[in-house]
Amino acid sequence: MTTIPGGSGLADTLTAEGRAVEAALERSLDALLPLLPEGLRPPVRHGVLTGGKRLRPILAVTAFRACGGREPTSIPDTPGGAGDGIGEGDGRLHDLAVSLELIHAYSLMHDDLPCMDDAALRRGRDTPHTLFGEGSTATAGAALIPAAGLYLLWSARAMGVPETDVRELLRILARAAGGGGMVGGQALDLEGEGRSLGREELDGLHRRKTGALLEASLELGAVAAGADAPLRTAMTRYGRAIGLAFQIADDILDATATREVLGKAPSDAALHKSTYVALLGVEGARAEARSQVDLALEALQAADLRLPAASVLEELARFVVERDR
Ligand code: GRG
């Protein structure tokens, strides 16, 4: 169980949202698996359903609410829910948000392959290629990429998002996942192994590899909510800052946490990767992560966001750097 700083409020929110995300992921696989050859179903299930913090969809859902989005309801709002932007949702919002997690899941499946980071353990479990083979895992991961796009289209339309915004949502996801985003960042990461990267190169790499999808999570929630330009800008500024803070925290954990707590083997040193810890030292990296959190909080304060979701975003910004895995 991840230790959640900041009291039980955030812990309860993460538990409730995490459950809704798991249910939405199950629904997405109910749609996807029957289309796949049987041999690909186990690695897809394993890659998508073996735990994880589910941070990206949780950020998207929270951004949607903070921007005043109203969930589609198949049953009337509860009296307490009416007008506060939190309806008794029918799950479509989480369906939309799990398109991000499908991309994230594929990226981890590929990242752990022998031709990439060559990891046998993730989230305390054997990685898919060690169980199902490299070819099946690479193919199963690739199947998740178009599936994420199709699922986004379907769920956004089911939520009644206007068609121009549906196209915008798809553009946001594709851009963040692609060559200018996560895949490009992964390429820079592989190229950088064994070299000593400077601060600018390291920021550029991680803003793409890790930051782009996190930033897209916030932007996706904002656009689905029909946010105006200032709200959308606030969400992208917040997302950009926590994206970098998240990676710095990841480097600190890789350098300081045990395999038992992390659920995977620390790998940066073994792969000769440049890290924020190597560049700034552990304390310097912690200070930089905190200053990114401050930037994220400033972005929230400058915007007219809805409560209680805005407070959840505040707590999530701190959680990103204080987490223990
Ligand atoms: C082969 C075409 C092709 C592309 C490869 C592998 C890849 C694309 C990209 C890798 C991107 C990557 C692994 C980024 C790492 C991001 C990161 C810090 C992951 C850990 O995220 P958490 O902590 O994980 O949210 P959980 O387990 O909580 O889901």
Residue of 1, 106, 210, 246 best suited for mutating to test ligand 1, as the one with most atoms within 8 Å of CB: 210
CB half-sphere exposure, 164, CA atoms < 13 A: 1
| Closest CA to ligand 1's atom 1 | 110
Cα of 184 from ligand 1 centre, angstroms: 12
Cα of 171 from ligand 1 centre, angstroms: 20
> What are the backbone dihedrals phi and psi of residue 34, each rounded to the nearest 5 degrees, phi first?
-60, -20
Looking at the CA of residue 183, tell me the nearest atom of ligand 1: 8
> What are the backbone dihedrals phi and psi of residue 126, each rounded to the nearest 5 degrees, phi first?
-60, 140
User: Cβ neighbours of residue 39 under 8 Å, at least 6 residues apart?
Assistant: 136
Cα of 105 from ligand 1 centre, angstroms: 7
Cα of 300 from ligand 1 centre, angstroms: 26
| Closest CA to ligand 1's atom 15 | 210
What's this model's pTM, rounded to 2 decimal places?
A: 0.92
Residue of 49, 59, 108 best suited for mutating to test ligand 1, as the one with most atoms within 8 Å of CB: 108
Task: Give Cα 91 to chain centroid, integer Å.
Answer: 18
Where are the chain's structural domains?
8-322
Would you write out the chain's pLDDT as a tens digit for each of its 325 residues?
Answer: 344 444 568 899 999 999 999 999 999 999 999 999 999 999 999 999 998 999 999 999 999 999 999 887 765 444 444 444 344 567 899 999 999 999 999 999 999 999 998 999 999 999 999 999 999 999 999 999 999 999 999 999 999 999 999 999 999 999 999 999 999 999 999 999 888 899 999 999 999 999 999 999 999 999 999 999 999 999 999 999 999 999 999 999 989 988 888 888 877 777 788 899 999 999 999 999 999 999 999 999 989 999 999 999 999 999 999 988 8
Domain 8-322, second-level architecture: Orthogonal Bundle (1.10)
